[in-house]
Amino acid sequence: MRASAVGVRIVLPGTFPGGDRDMKKRHMDAMAIVHTYGKPDIFLTMTCNPKWEEITNELLPGQMSQDRPDIVAPVFYGKLEAMKDMLLKKMVLGVVVAYVYVVEFQKRGLPHAHFLLIMDSTYKLLVPEQYDRLISAELPDKQKYPELYAMVVKHMMHGPCSALNPKNVCMQDNECAKFRGKMLDNRWVVPYNPYLLRMFNCHINVEVCSSIKAVKYIYKGHDKASFSIDQPDAHGNIDEIKRYVDARRVTPPEAMWRIFGFLLCANYPPNASKSMLTEYFKANKKNTLGQGIYCTRIFPEASRGRRGRSSGSDGLSVFK
């Protein structure tokens, strides 16, 4: 494929959420945040639990969660907003100065979200003792914490498999494809935060970041097949929209997520936090003397027919 032919006539614009241009733009925005605030400190993944009561209580007799994507999508959205509130407002892991998150969908349809959190300097994780306060990678005491133990076994284990669980997804031809046919112990525990796991009752992987590679990981985009049945037209132009549709599949929960208009990505703080317009409004809010002055670069129509032109201190033309 000729590089000069990409996007000549028919393109999938950056305004399409989840498209290649959108993901590239968001990746660059995230890297700008990292450049300003430093590398991410915490990587958190939250996956939808199809057994949440908010889902199962709404199912009709004989239905399963995969039959009702119109329930799965809004319930996970509500849980995601609750997670954001816990992380960003209640600061259960510490003070967050910047973050990015991306919502993706598994091949079987369940939504999950990846968070990258950049902590305030006083909450940076630097020594093992700080890691241990937020993250656990072992089975809790079954006698002291029976509910937490059950949740870790259900949501945060890579196994068991083999004879203990022959229906595990890693089983192929009655053998473990991942060579994990072992008894249940701490070796197979995925790192987690006990408080968040107990609160949300779903798979929540919490890990300490050591590089900026995680930024590229969460913006890797959807799983796609590297083939296309569409050929360039007589002029060599490529239809990016058809190529996008043909190269991946959209599961029902993702379709409902887009229909409801839920966000697929977000970051904070925004890269363009200030502009001439916003600063003009802020200045007028603080100083009432400037409310009768119009800037021609912002409101050129307001200066039409007005007299008494003068030059402001910043070189802008103003009218009184």
CA angle 119, 145, 205 (to 5 degrees): 35
131: in domain = yes
Ramachandran category for residue 201: left, alpha or beta (phi over 0 → left; psi -120 to 50 → alpha): left
Q: Are residues 266 and 172 in the same domain?
A: no
Domain that includes residue 214, residue range: 20-136+191-229+239-282
Q: Are residues 93 and 142 in the same domain?
A: no
Q: Is residue 30 part of a domain?
A: yes
Is the same domain home to 166 and 49? no
On whether both 95 and 220 belong to a single domain, the answer is: yes
CA dihedral over 128, 180, 151, 77, signed as positive or negative: positive
Sheet with 310-311: strands ordered across: 294-295, 317-319, 310-311
**DSSP secondary structure string for all residues of 107-137:** TTS-EEEEEEEEE-GGG---SHHHHHHH-B-
Residue 225 belongs to a domain: yes
Contact 112, 49 (CB under 8 A): no
Euclidean distance between CA atoms 64 and 47, whole angstroms: 18
Residue 47 lies in a domain: yes
Cβ neighbors of 38 (< 8 A, separation 6 or more) are: 118
pLDDT on residue 217: 87
**252 and 160, same structural domain?**
no
**For 89-108, what is each residue's pLDDT tens digit?**
999 999 999 999 999 998 77
The answer to whether residues 273 and 132 belong to one domain is yes
Residue with tokens 């990846």: 114
Whether 267 is covered by a domain: the verdict is yes
CB contact set of 277 (below 8 Å; sequence gap of 6+): 298
Instruction: Report residues of the chain scoring pLDDT below 70.
Output: 1-10, 159-165, 167-171, 176-183, 223-232, 241-248, 272-274, 290-320
213/110 same-domain check: yes
**Number of independent structural domains in the chain:** 2
3-state secondary structure of 201: coil
In this structure, are 247 and 271 located in the same domain?
Answer: yes
Looking at the fold, whether 33 and 165 belong to one and the same domain comes out as: no
Task: Collapse the DSSP code of 265 into the 3-class scheme (helix H, G, I; strand E, B; otherwise coil) and give the result.
Answer: strand
Residue 294 belongs to a domain: no
Asked whether the beta carbons of 14 and 22 are under 8 A apart, the reply is: yes
Decide: 267 and 29 in contact? Cβ < 8 Å: yes
33 domain residue, yes or no: yes
Q: Assess whether 147 and 217 both reside in one domain.
A: no
38 and 174 in a single domain? The answer is no
Distances in Å between the Cα of 206 and the Cα atoms of 29, 135, 191 are 23, 7, 6
Please give the radius of gyration of the chain, using alpha carbons only, rounded to the nearest integer. Answer: 26
In a shared domain, residues 99 and 28 = yes
pLDDT of residue 287: 78
103 in a domain, yes or no? yes
Looking at residue 275, its pLDDT comes to 72
